[in-house]
Amino acid sequence: MAFQAETCIKEGTIIENGSFSVTTDGDSPAFTVRSAIVSLPKGVTGNIEDIKIFGPDKKLEFGCGSPEYPIKVENGTNLIKSCGGPAVLQAGETIYQAKGNKFGPLRKKGTEIPFGIKLCDSFAE
Instruction: Give the per-residue pLDDT at 33.
Output: 93
pLDDT digits (tens, 9 = 90+) for 28-56: 889 999 999 999 999 999 999 999 999 99
Tell me how far apart the 2 most distant CA atoms of the chain are, in Å.
54
- The domain spans of the chain are 8-120
Give 8-120's CATH code, choosing from 1.10.10, 2.40.240, 3.40.720, 2.60.290: 2.60.290
pLDDT digits (tens, 9 = 90+) for 77-105: 999 988 888 989 999 999 999 999 999 98
Buried b (16+ CB within 10 A) or exposed e, 30-68: ebebbbbbbebeeebebbbbbbbbbbbeeeebbebbeee
